[in-house]
Amino acid sequence: MNGKGLRIPSATYRLQFNAGFTFSDAAEIIPYLHSLGISDIYASPYLKARKGSLHGYDILDQNSLNPEIGTEHDYDALITALHQHAMGQIADIVPNHMCIEGQGNDFWMDVLENGPSSACACFFDIDWHPIKQELENRILVPILGDQYGTVLENGELKIAFEEGAFFVHYYDHKLPVIPKTYSKILTINIDALEQELSGSAPQFQELMSIITALKHLPFTTELDPERIAERYREKEVIKRRLLNLYQNSGAIKGFIDNNLKIFNGIKNDPRSYDLLDELLQDQVYRISHWRVATEEINYRRFFDINSLGAIKVENPAVFEKTHNFIFKLVETGKINGLRIDHADGLRDPEDYLKRLQAGCFIRMYKGSGESQPSGMDEESQTEAAIREKYDLILQATPSYKPFFIVGEKILLKSEKLPEDWPVFGTTGYDFINQVNGLFVDGSNAKVFESIYTRFMQHRVDFHAAVYDKKKLVMQVAMSSEINTLAHYLNRISEQNRHTRDFTLNSLIKSIVEVIANFPVYRTYTNSLEVSERDRQYIEMTILKAKRQNPAISSSVFDFIRDVLLLRFSDAMTDDQKQARLDFVMRFQQITGPIMAKGVEDTAFYLYNRLISLNEVGGSPERFGISPEAFHGQNIERCKNRPLAMLASSTHDTKRSEDVRARINVLSEIPEVWKEGLSRWSRQNRRVKMVVDGKPAPSRNEEYLLYQTMIGTWPFCKPDDEEFGLFRTRIKEYMLKAMREAKVHTSWINPNSLREDAVMYFIDTILKDSPNNQFLHDFGAFQAVTAAGGIVNALSQTLLKITSPGIPDIYQGNELWDFSLVAPDNRRPVDYTARKRYLDELIHRESAAGLLETAREVVGNRSDGRIKLHLTWKALTFRRANRELFESGRYLPLTVAGVFQEQVCAFERSINNRSILVVVPRLCTRLMSDDNRLPLGAAVWQDTRLLLPLDTEASSYRNIFTGELLLLNQHEGQLSLNLADILAEFPCALLERFDRICEMPEPASD
């Protein structure tokens, strides 16, 4: 397709675009990223978003660029820079929701002005006939900071006249007034105006004509297409007439301005707001306090965020409208891949992804310049012909995927990505937990549990915490969604004489229990057939819910099971079957947000046994994984999704890869950790305050704090400016963590006294003073975990780059990055320093050689250049040997000797080429008292890598050091000694050559 066909990235680099990092900024670093070995940037959403957005997921308009990030010219300059370096772009798109607060979303404004008759009503998932009768054909808009009456009488709601239309303003929010209700404003004091102008005056006659026209406008509940068209036509005519009259008649302008003043009321005169109150009661929207959303919201949201309204992308018109701009970028070759945000939020992810692939194929084909079928000149006919071609390809090759697409999908434990999704894989959260677990010492699980329990002075069960927190979320954040779902189910139960006696209350309770026990984010039933995978999850969930709730009749759970499994009686009509399928698909869209809010955003801040395991998609109760399990998952991916994305840090991770790498070291030294906890608790006991009869911080918060500091402690002295910034970041994180845990404080009900007490505790224990014994004691302890963390971080980086899949580097993480959860991980990145470091490494290698360069970065490892060196060498080697990594076989290797458990190794091979990847793990016991890296014979002793498939003619070159390694015989087996492999650098990427004389120069681009 003329160079615009399928492009597979070699390695991606995530960039977070916002006003502080623009298209122009990105264009400047493209040469650096190319030198680093990156093939494609992986861009955060950059379509028009809410002003000041740091992440871009609060999109206002899918068909224009975010002006805060740059102009179309700036964007094209970025694309030019990419293409000049033979690089591409993966774009992050948001199909599930839009920002609907403030102003700027034209679709939402149209709905607020026109209600059910809006041409955009189909865009949003709105229940126009909700449980609360007062919201019939209306939308709850929960934007107020206080109760409606209080806000109204404080004069915070204002009516304004703009460009021929009336609007309600509330700070940054702007809501349109229904044109039909303009007459309420325009008829106040109309008699006085008539006397002023006389009834025969043209201006007065025009105003009265406008008022008459307003009365004849069709209602917002009108659904007849002709009447809707009439409404749209006539209301705009009225606005133009009213604006013309306002601009050309001083009397009319004064009249309208004075009426607005009357409507906007007088402070301290409650009755003066009656007119505005009456006007607001006639609108499509019902403005309310933001907390009302918990129980009465009648539009689907993104999770529990009121400002993000879900869109019905399953509607073909909505799909086309919201993807038109993206498809243009595909057609012109400006983007080469897509990342789909929150795929689980879609009603039918599989169908959406299939339509997306088809749309990309059509646009790529059109953009390729290939001749179109004869007689198919019209646009629609052309697209139909291309779609027919695509369908024929799919019939011949069902697994065909024309465009590189990955989906954000959280997989739990042994869960697999649905096979029918036409994507290359997930965005890599599964790999994050896979590779992270490799550096947790599973043999210490019980002793670590004991340490946590004793420090807490009671046991925290993770599964119980998940169950409780999911129920809490359903109670305090998403009860409206649960109530709506239960009413749907109640209507279904009324259709059968055997189920009609189930009460609404029993259905609500049972739905809550089923969702609280649901083991995965969601199921994927999209037809009257339920997959075996989904069937097993549902059966398992119902059994567990029954056991936990003996007081609830099992027949209610059986009914829910039969509905979810789409078990139909012979007498059931097609409409009744469809109603059940509709319920199932609604149910599936709710379980995911509740899982995310209950687990990731609550339980993960409550269960703190080893917080490096508390990662998105992780299972904190699973204390590490073995090398065998790691290899098994790599083999599985190599077979089924060899081009899935591999991540170690993302914009959503709870902790950066380097923070987790440090914290994981604690799993190797439980007794030392236990002693440290005991000392620090005693040293800091005097600093704790008592709030509401309880010490602040609590034991659990203190336990979390110490681990967090271990992971994020900077490479500087306590009196440095950087340490002051670190102290501030720790306080901001702990404030967020406490509120997310929802135990002593929360976002909804902040406990300021307790929060202040914890902030004081942190300030005091991190204060650099001669009397602060803790600071120096902790600093010495942290040096051990920092040293072990360096080894872990380098190992996991190499594993990510060389394992089956496409490695992604999160912005800035090519150097040490000790960031915590957002917004901490979205701080500006110093690319000037990174570019300088890389230039110096390239120059150093050219001048002094690879081995001396490796020795230098090892000797100065705290500045992060050692990680940059590994990333650069591994990525550029990968880019030069793409086939080996994208299609090569994966073979776990056996390690023998005294420290065999401290090594993970595998081979990648294709045709006659192969590489070895060798990384250390759990190396604290191998490190000396001065925390030197585990290098050389004195450390590794007789540990060796067995290579039974090699020959004596084989030799290997270390990509990081340039060293040449020859195989040796040990007890009749060919092997490489770890003492040689890891003599100069803490992990190894080895390229094989069968004859020394044929060894080429180091691979490059």
Mean pLDDT value of segment 509-536: 96
- Residue 187 CA from chain centroid, whole number: 51
Question: For residue 695, what pLDDT band results from cuts at 50, 70 and 90?
Answer: very high
**Predicted confidence (pLDDT) per residue in 46-88, tens digit:** 999 999 999 999 999 999 999 999 999 999 999 999 999 999 9
Residue 750 in contact with residue 691, Cβ under 8 Å? no
- Please give the angle made by the CA atoms of 347, 353 and 356, to the nearest 5 degrees: 120
Answer yes or no: is pLDDT of 999 > 60.
Answer: no
List, as own/partner pairs, every contact residues 216-225 make where C-beta atoms lie below 8 angstroms and the sequence separation is at least 24, other chains included.
217/179, 217/180, 218/117, 219/117, 219/180, 220/114, 220/115, 220/116, 220/117, 220/118, 220/137, 220/178, 220/180, 220/284, 221/115, 221/116, 221/117, 221/137, 222/117, 223/116, 223/117
Please report the pLDDT score of residue 949 as a whole number.
87
Residue 196 in contact with residue 251, Cβ under 8 Å? yes
Dist. CA 69–CA 922, nearest whole Å: 43
Question: For residue 951, what pLDDT band results from cuts at 50, 70 and 90?
Answer: confident
The neighbour count for residue 418, using CB atoms within 10 Å, is: 18
CB burial readout 216-248, b (16+ within 10 A) else e: ebbebebeeeeebeebbebbeebbebbeebbee
DSSP state of 166: E
Dist. CA 43–CA 91, nearest whole Å: 5
Closest listed residue to residue 36, CA positions, set 870, 963, 882, 960: 870
Answer yes or no: is pLDDT of 291 > 50.
Answer: yes
DSSP codes joined into one string, 573-638: -HHHHHHHHHHHHHHHHHHHHHHIIIIITTGGGT--SSGGG--TT--TTS----HHHHHHHHHHHH
Please report the pLDDT score of residue 369 as a whole number.
66
Answer yes or no: is pLDDT of 246 > 50.
Answer: yes
45 backbone dihedrals φ, ψ, rounded to 5°: -55, 135
**Predicted confidence (pLDDT) per residue in 156-181, tens digit:** 999 999 999 999 999 999 999 999 99
898 backbone dihedrals φ, ψ, rounded to 5°: -65, -30
| 914, containing H or E segment | strand 913-920
Please report the pLDDT score of residue 776 as a whole number.
93
Answer yes or no: is pLDDT of 1004 > 70.
Answer: no
Question: For residue 379, what pLDDT band results from cuts at 50, 70 and 90?
Answer: low
Q: Which residue has the higher pLDDT, 372 or 345?
A: 345
Dist. CA 75–CA 24, nearest whole Å: 8
966 backbone dihedrals φ, ψ, rounded to 5°: -105, 140
Answer yes or no: is pLDDT of 1000 > 80.
Answer: no
Please report the pLDDT score of residue 994 as a whole number.
82
Please report the pLDDT score of residue 857 as a whole number.
98
Dist. CA 773–CA 755, nearest whole Å: 24
> Considering just the CA atoms, what is the radius of gyration of the chain in Å?
32
Question: CA dist 467 to 474, 478, 514, 515, 516, Å?
Answer: 11, 15, 10, 9, 5
Tokens 């008022």 belong to which residue? 211
Please report the pLDDT score of residue 997 as a whole number.
46
Both structure tokens of 490: 């109640």
Please report the pLDDT score of residue 21 as a whole number.
98
Answer yes or no: is pLDDT of 3 > 50.
Answer: no
Answer yes or no: is pLDDT of 397 > 90.
Answer: yes
Dist. CA 608–CA 744, nearest whole Å: 16
Dist. CA 293–CA 303, nearest whole Å: 12
| 308, containing H or E segment | strand 305-310
Closest listed residue to residue 276, CA positions, set 289, 288, 287, 265: 265
Mean pLDDT value of segment 977-987: 97
Tokens 């993966």 belong to which residue? 90
Q: Bridge partners of 59?
A: 49
DSSP codes joined into one string, 549-590: -TTS-HHHHHHHHHHHTT---TT--HHHHHHHHHHHHHHHHH
pTM of the entire predicted model = 0.95
> Going by C-beta distance under 8 Å and a sequence separation of 6 or more, which residues neighbour residue 832?
none
> Going by C-beta distance under 8 Å and a sequence separation of 6 or more, which residues neighbour residue 747?
739, 740
Answer yes or no: is pLDDT of 371 > 70.
Answer: no
| 64, containing H or E segment | strand 59-65
**Predicted confidence (pLDDT) per residue in 298-311, tens digit:** 999 999 999 999 99
Dist. CA 66–CA 50, nearest whole Å: 9
Residue 564 in contact with residue 488, Cβ under 8 Å? no
Tokens 């059986």 belong to which residue? 558
DSSP codes joined into one string, 212-238: HHHHTSPPTT---HHHHHHHHHHHHHH
Dist. CA 881–CA 451, nearest whole Å: 47
Please report the pLDDT score of residue 885 as a whole number.
97
DSSP state of 900: G
Question: For residue 374, what pLDDT band results from cuts at 50, 70 and 90?
Answer: very low
Please report the pLDDT score of residue 381 as a whole number.
64
Residue 96 in contact with residue 311, Cβ under 8 Å? yes
Dist. CA 24–CA 307, nearest whole Å: 29
Dist. CA 24–CA 77, nearest whole Å: 8
- % residues pLDDT > 70 (the chain): 97
How many Cα atoms occupy the beta-carbon half-sphere of 810 within 13 Å? Answer: 26
Which region, left, alpha or beta, applies to residue 70 given φ > 0 means left and ψ of -120 to 50 means alpha?
left
Give 454: exposed, middle or buried? Use CB within 10 Å, 0-12, 13-18, 19+.
Answer: middle
Dist. CA 755–CA 752, nearest whole Å: 5
Please report the pLDDT score of residue 953 as a whole number.
85
570 backbone dihedrals φ, ψ, rounded to 5°: -65, -25
Mean pLDDT of the chain: 95
Please report the pLDDT score of residue 928 as a whole number.
79
Question: CA dist 306 to 169, 292, 602, 878, Å?
Answer: 18, 10, 19, 44
The neighbour count for residue 414, using CB atoms within 10 Å, is: 6
Answer yes or no: is pLDDT of 25 > 60.
Answer: yes
895-896 and 285-289: which strand pairing?
A: unpaired
